[in-house]
Amino acid sequence: MSLGQHLVELRKRLFRSAIAILLGAVAGWFLYSWVWPQLQGPITQVAKTHKATINFTNITGAFDVHMQIAITIGLVISSPVWLYQIFAFLVPGLTSREKRYVFGFVFSAIPLFLAGCAAGWYVFPHIVELMASFVPAQSASFYDAKYYLDFVLKLVLVVGVAFVLPVFIVLLNFIGILSAKAILKGWRWAILAIVVFTAIATPAADIASMMLLALPMVFLYFASLGVAALHDRSVARRAPSVVTAGV
């Protein structure tokens, strides 16, 4: 394909992705009335111990939050469509072997990302309630709606991305950049990085939430090690036959 044809193909893929996101955002607009009470749940629990409320600090604040939630829902709902469009745009330029790797990466990354988002969603109420427990008696907590929503979405998305990282490790192994031996050699540093990440993502005092995030990530790291080891063994087994055939 010429450069012009590539640009036309890219425009077509982007247009389809935008339509899917737009339709998902329309659905998200109507789901707002269910999602927002779920987001306010931790504040409702905090309000049982001291005065706590979510404030909209400007005229357009409520509309902005409504729109942000709708777009976020739209991105999640339409993710199979726009991920497929990215894959379909890249596939013509890949070899058959590379296609298999990218295909496996995309379809394993999606469920892991969603599982990570679910873990972040489960943990965030505990974080909010724990942080609110430091508010002195007879005091009140006033949370800015946009800041509160940004905090929740960033936590959920960061944990979701963290769950996908083992898939990158496997992909690097399959394309020959990272061996299983190198992955095993760095297991101590990996666990340390996971613990530091979970300590940052959750308050250090909340050991239960920290372990809830750390244990699945450690398991996924060693699972990726197991997959890489099986792949390296398969490559080593095929190597002598390839040499013999060449001779």
Please give the chain's pLDDT, 247 residues, in tens.
666 777 888 888 899 999 999 999 999 999 999 999 988 888 888 888 888 889 998 889 899 999 999 998 888 888 778 877 877 776 666 677 767 777 777 777 788 888 888 888 888 888 888 778 888 877 888 888 988 888 888 778 777 877 878 877 887 787 677 788 888 888 888 888 888 877 776 654 557 667 777 888 888 888 888 888 888 888 788 766 544 444 4
Residue 109, amino acid: A
246 within some domain:
no
Domain range enclosing 73: 3-236
Give the DSSP H or E segment for 236: helix 207-246
13 within some domain:
yes
d(CA 133, CA 45): 11
Specify the pLDDT at position 19.
94
Specify the pLDDT at position 24.
92
247 within some domain:
no
Specify the pLDDT at position 243.
44
Specify the pLDDT at position 25.
93
For Cα atoms 180, 182, 183, give the angle at the middle one, nearest 5 degrees: 65
242 within some domain:
no
179 within some domain:
yes
244 within some domain:
no
Q: Are 101 and 174 in contact (CB under 8 A)?
A: yes
241 within some domain:
no
Question: Any idea what DSSP says for residue 202?
Answer: S
245 within some domain:
no
Residue from 240, 83, 106, 93 nearest 164 by CA: 106
Specify the pLDDT at position 225.
87
| Alpha helices (runs of H) in the chain, residue ranges in sequence order | 3-46, 61-77, 79-90, 96-132, 145-174, 180-185, 187-201, 207-246
Structural domains in the chain (count): 1
